[in-house]
């Protein structure tokens, strides 16, 4: 089972590629994965029905958190697995014809659909409750992508977001309930929790939260509105997610915990009340729809309410009938959705007012639809009839024994059955009947082009299984008894086609007869064409809430985001001052030990840093202030270097240099003098705040250094770095091995920072405009030595005769700069040193495991080489020097680091665990290579990408925008 789960994942990643190669034929290959899982579940049938030797697999994923990848196939999981995989395989086959004219555009759709099938497979089989929540949220995310497949349509985007928000919100509430249950039971195993059957007020609260998740996922009132809106998705999505799979997740959760929670105080009032109301609400609305998919959608809402009542009722007989209902619904409702897809593809409409006489022209499809609707209504010999009669019998027997909830459920289900028959007739009439106009004359039949035979294969198979399951009710009864008996020791009854003349049979056929009458009456009175009965619906409430959130966001932003950097910084400092000062006042130590200095160098460096900070406050020019602030950073370099931390000193000086360059690039677009346009105000409050923050941080440093009660973990780092990381540079080994996950997070922050800077600067697009220089013909580049070129808005052009006296270009793009901006000395130095600096950066990269350096320092050095090329030759020179697009460097480095971290898992090792290879090489001697070096290479590439992205955005792009503004006559 775990292997099949991995196959689902691999298949979802591979299928988009196959779709590009093979077109729609690739869906057939994709269907093989769920088909294999279906066959595997069938093979496990003897073990599952035997009960004692049910399949179980366990992989301890995160032992420290007791989080396990565990799979358990009992009867309930087996039934849902067959539904998820069987219907999933048929839907993927159906997509082969549904997407025949847009096959090259559905690669992502194919992968996501197969991935969703895998997530559902994991959800119904996992034995870990926390993992169930994870699969639950994965299905929400993937359903968002599937519903929003037609992303150019506003309705699809809106419906996808609506489904995501509603189901995710319910999932988060459910997650809190799961945590409460796990803490109370002391285990996350579903099997163990069912055996323990925890009770108490905390458990009751957890039950309510679990039901919130189930109700939102299965579209019960008041969360029912997202399901009809999701009909904006392609029909295969509706057939799979909204008939067979996703909406069954909530029903599965109810069925899973009904054996232990059905008799708890909050269970029945919530499940039965909301289930009955949802069944009636959905049935009434289905009678008012003219779109075939929306008729089925509201019918599905009604049926889901029906299932919630029966599956969650809590008796063995109801559980047996409820599981049969779930099977029947997956078969007939999937078939109906797929039939609607055929109609939509062939006629480009689903409106019942535009369809007439289709049934005569498509008898095979109409027959499949009639069988499916008959099962939905509960007509023999379908599985729907068997399940419906068993349901009425179970509820009637419990009601006769004095259960008030039994009478509520029985009456609600009977009325719901009437509505089911009514909207079932409406669907058949709307899709296949020949209709009359207002004068009673027959409307001309809609021309019907016959679809490919394969297009109808999936609904025909599902309709055939609907009858087969009904006729095979005794065998189905044997299979489902194992789950029914988990809800009690009493006799659960039996599934059969014929129980004799009993009250349940009369109720069933009476509901069908009344339902047909309701449908006829609604058509003749034109009740179905009237305006909606309620002026305010749950969907209106959703949009009202969303509108309120949007307005609150705008109000909050307008109040807090005033566009004043001093206000933002001041707010941060005020909060910091209040929080830290309060903490210090509450826990100030009685005794503080201070030393005047640790090394004599501090006596010299510390005053210089302090004076530079004070002078920086008085500086009137921005660049002067930046330089003075950098003095403090350079002072830290000296302190690190003299305190036995050369690696930190190297990194600090590189960071300080890059920061200085970045500030210089930004300051080009700002006035040179501070307070020139907007004079500083409130100097005294600012000074008080600044002094307060400084004093508080000084005390924090003093207290923090003396608050340690135990030996720091870093004491063992030198030994661990050598034994585990196979390196002598403790700092570097800690970054790429001992604390590698921290570095992974920092890499993600760097990528986000680069993306954020670029998104603020690049106005129209973020394409790589620098590569144009790399693509210049070599002959043209050589000609620049004789005929210098200048940069214009249109690109490169030869200089005029009066400019031919410019100095010779040592750099490729040197002559594209204005003569007054060029420095022949700088060009010579950069040309001579560039490759040397790159070699030094590579040396630092590979030497950093044992000597000062590493990927971060090496990347900064390589970035400084790019800075030199940009300063010497401008943005075109940066394009000539850039090894690749910044985005590719950032993404490639992150992928490389993540891959190096996860690769040990495939060899049974812990993530980021290092391996070392040693060899004796002629001439070179003894060589060692540690696998964490690959991780360091990823860090190296990310840092280079960050520097390059900063140069492209704050440097080259600002240059381009400046040139463009000057060409328009804008004074800068």
User: Which helix (H) or strand (E) element contains residue 68?
Assistant: strand 67-72
Q: List CB contacts of 642: < 8 A, sequence separation 6 or more.
A: 599, 601
Which pLDDT value is given to residue 658?
A: 86
Q: Are the beta carbons of 940 and 858 closer than 8 angstroms? A: yes
Label residue 500 left, alpha or beta by phi (over 0 means left) and psi (-120 to 50 means alpha).
Answer: left
The two structure tokens encoding residue 68: 């396990």
Distances (CA, A) of 579 to 574, 576, 586, 589, 700: 9, 5, 11, 17, 11
The series of mean pLDDT values per 10 residues for the chain, 972 residues long, is: 93 92 91 96 93 86 81 95 96 92 81 96 95 95 93 90 94 95 92 92 95 94 92 92 89 95 94 96 92 94 95 93 95 95 92 91 94 95 94 92 91 95 95 81 86 92 95 93 88 84 90 95 85 75 91 88 82 92 83 80 90 86 86 90 87 88 80 63 84 90 80 81 82 82 83 78 58 46 44 45 52 68 81 91 90 90 90 81 82 88 78 81 80 89 89 80 73 56
CA atoms of 652 and 137, how far apart (whole Å): 42
User: Which helix (H) or strand (E) element contains residue 930?
Assistant: strand 925-930
Q: Coil, strand, or helix at residue 601?
A: helix
Which pLDDT value is given to residue 243?
A: 84
Label residue 488 left, alpha or beta by phi (over 0 means left) and psi (-120 to 50 means alpha).
Answer: left
Candidates 81, 131, 111, 92; CA nearest to 245 is 81
Candidates 130, 140, 208, 204; CA nearest to 169 is 140
Q: Are the beta carbons of 347 and 464 closer than 8 angstroms? A: no
CA angle 109, 114, 120 (to 5 degrees): 125
Q: Are the beta carbons of 774 and 880 closer than 8 angstroms? A: yes
Q: How many CB atoms lie within 10 A of CB 945?
A: 28
CA atoms of 851 and 51, how far apart (whole Å): 61
Distances (CA, A) of 516 to 292, 335, 519, 718: 18, 22, 5, 82
pTM, full prediction: 0.75
Q: Which residue has the tokens 């068993």?
A: 390
Label residue 928 left, alpha or beta by phi (over 0 means left) and psi (-120 to 50 means alpha).
Answer: beta
- Computed on alpha carbons and rounded to an integer, the radius of gyration of the chain in Å comes to 35
CA atoms of 199 and 261, how far apart (whole Å): 9
Q: List CB contacts of 411: < 8 A, sequence separation 6 or more.
A: none
CA atoms of 637 and 411, how far apart (whole Å): 81
Q: Are the beta carbons of 358 and 446 closer than 8 angstroms? A: yes
């Amino acid at each position: 089972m775990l292997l099949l789960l991995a196959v689902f994942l691999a298949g979802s990643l591979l299928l988009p590629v196959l779709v590009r190669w093979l077109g729609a034929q690739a869906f057939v290959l994709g269907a093989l994965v769920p088909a294999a899982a279906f066959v595997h579940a069938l093979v496990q049938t003897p073990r599952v029905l035997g009960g004692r030797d049910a399949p179980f697999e366990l992989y301890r994923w995160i032992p420290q958190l007791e989080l396990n990848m565990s799979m358990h196939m009992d009867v309930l999981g087996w039934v849902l697995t067959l539904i998820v995989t069987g219907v999933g395989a048929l839907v993927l086959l159906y997509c082969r014809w549904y997407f025949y004219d847009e096959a090259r555009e559905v690669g992502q759709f194919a992968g996501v659909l197969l991935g969703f099938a895998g997530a559902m497979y994991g959800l119904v089989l996992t034995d870990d409750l926390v993992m169930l929540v994870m699969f639950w949220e994965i299905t929400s995310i993937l359903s968002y992508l599937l519903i929003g497949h037609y992303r150019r349509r506003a309705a699809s985007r809106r419906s996808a977001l609506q489904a995501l928000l509603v189901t995710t919100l319910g999932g988060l509430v459910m997650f809190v309930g799961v945590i409460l249950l796990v803490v109370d039971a002391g285990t996350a195993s579903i099997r163990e929790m069912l055996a323990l059957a925890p009770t108490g007020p905390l458990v009751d609260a957890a039950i309510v939260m679990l039901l919130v998740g189930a109700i939102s996922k299965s579209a019960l009132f008041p969360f029912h509105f997202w399901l009809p809106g999701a009909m904006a998705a392609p029909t295969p999505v509706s057939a799979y997610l909204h008939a067979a799979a996703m909406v069954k997740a909530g029903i599965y959760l109810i069925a899973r915990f009904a054996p232990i929670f059905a008799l708890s105080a909050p269970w029945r009032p919530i499940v039965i009340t909301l289930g009955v109301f949802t069944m009636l609400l959905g049935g009434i609305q289905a009678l008012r729809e003219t779109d075939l998919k929306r008729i089925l959608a509201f019918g599905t809402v009604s049926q889901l309410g029906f299932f919630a009542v029966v599956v969650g009722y809590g008796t063995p007989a109801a559980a047996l009938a409820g599981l049969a209902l779930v099977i029947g619904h997956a078969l007939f409702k999937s078939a109906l959705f797929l039939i609607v897809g055929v109609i939509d593809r062939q006629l480009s409409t689903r409106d019942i007012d535009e369809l007439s006489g289709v049934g005569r022209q498509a008898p095979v499809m109409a027959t499949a639809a009639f069988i499916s609707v008959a099962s939905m209504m509960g007509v023999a010999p379908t599985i729907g009839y068997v399940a419906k009669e068993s349901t009425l019998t179970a509820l009637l027997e419990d009601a006769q024994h004095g259960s008030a909830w039994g009478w509520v459920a029985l009456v609600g289900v009977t009325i719901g059955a009437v509505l089911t028959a009514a909207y079932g007739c409406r669907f058949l009439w709307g899709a296949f009947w020949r209709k009359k106009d207002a004068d009673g004359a027959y409307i001309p039949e809609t021309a019907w082009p016959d679809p490919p035979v394969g297009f109808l294969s999936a609904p025909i198979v599902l309709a055939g299984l609907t009858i087969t399951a009904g006729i095979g009710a005794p065998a189905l009864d044997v299979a489902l008894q194992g789950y029914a008996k988990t809800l009690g020791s009493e006799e659960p009854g039996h599934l059969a086609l014929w129980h004799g003349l009993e009250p349940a049979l009369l109720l069933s056929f009476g509901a069908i007869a009344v339902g047909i009458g309701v449908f006829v009456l609604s058509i003749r009175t034109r009740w179905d064409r009237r305006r909606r009965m309620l002026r305010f619906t749950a969907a209106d409430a959703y949009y009202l809430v969303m509108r309120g959130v949007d307005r609150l966001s705008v109000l909050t932003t307008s109040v807090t985001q005033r566009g004043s950097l001093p206000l933002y910084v001041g707010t941060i400092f005020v909060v910091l001052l209040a929080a830290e000062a309060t903490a210090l006042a509450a826990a100030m130590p009685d005794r503080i030990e201070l030393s005047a200095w640790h090394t004599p160098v501090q006596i010299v460096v510390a005053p210089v840093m302090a004076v530079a900070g004070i002078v920086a406050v008085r500086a009137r020019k921005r660049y002067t202030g930046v330089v003075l602030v950098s003095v403090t950073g350079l002072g830290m370099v000296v302190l690190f270097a003299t305190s036995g931390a050369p690696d930190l000193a190297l990194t600090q000086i590189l960071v300080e240099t890059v920061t200085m360059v970045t500030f210089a690039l930004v300051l080009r677009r700002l006035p040179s003098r501070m307070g020139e346009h907007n004079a500083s105000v409130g100097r005294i409050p600012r000074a008080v705040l600044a002094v307060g923050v400084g004093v508080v941080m000084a005390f924090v440093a003093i207290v923090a250094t003396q608050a340690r009660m135990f030996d720091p973990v870093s004491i063992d780092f030198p030994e661990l770095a050598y034994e585990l990381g196979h390196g002598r540079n403790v700092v570097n080994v800690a970054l790429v091995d001992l604390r590698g996950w921290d570095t992974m997070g920092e890499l993600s922050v760097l990528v986000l920072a680069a993306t954020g800077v670029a998104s603020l600067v690049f106005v129209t697009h973020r394409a790589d405009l620098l590569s144009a220089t790399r693509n210049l013909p070599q002959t043209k580049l050589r000609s620049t030595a004789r005929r210098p070129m200048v940069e214009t808005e249109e690109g490169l052009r030869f200089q005029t005769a009066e400019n031919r006296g410019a100095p010779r270009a040592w750099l490729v793009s040197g002559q594209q700069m204005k003569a007054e901006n060029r420095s022949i000395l700088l060009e010579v130095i950069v040309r001579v040193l560039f490759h040397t600096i790159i070699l030094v950066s590579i040396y630092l990269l590979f030497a950093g495991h044992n000597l000062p350096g590493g990927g971060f320092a090496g990347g900064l050095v390589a970035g400084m080489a790019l800075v030199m090329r940009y300063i010497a030759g401008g943005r075109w020179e940066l394009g000539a020097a850039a090894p690749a697009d910044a985005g590719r460097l950032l993404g490639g480095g992150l992928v490389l680091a993540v891959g190096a971290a996860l690769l040990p898992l495939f060899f049974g090792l812990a993530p980021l665990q290092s391996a070392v290879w040693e060899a004796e090489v002629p001439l070179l001697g003894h060589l060692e290579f540690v696998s964490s070096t690959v991780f360091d290479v990823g860090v190296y590439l990310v840092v280079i990408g960050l520097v390059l992205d900063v140069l492209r955005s704050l440097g080259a792009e600002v240059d381009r925008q400046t040139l463009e503004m000057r060409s328009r006559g804008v004074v800068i």
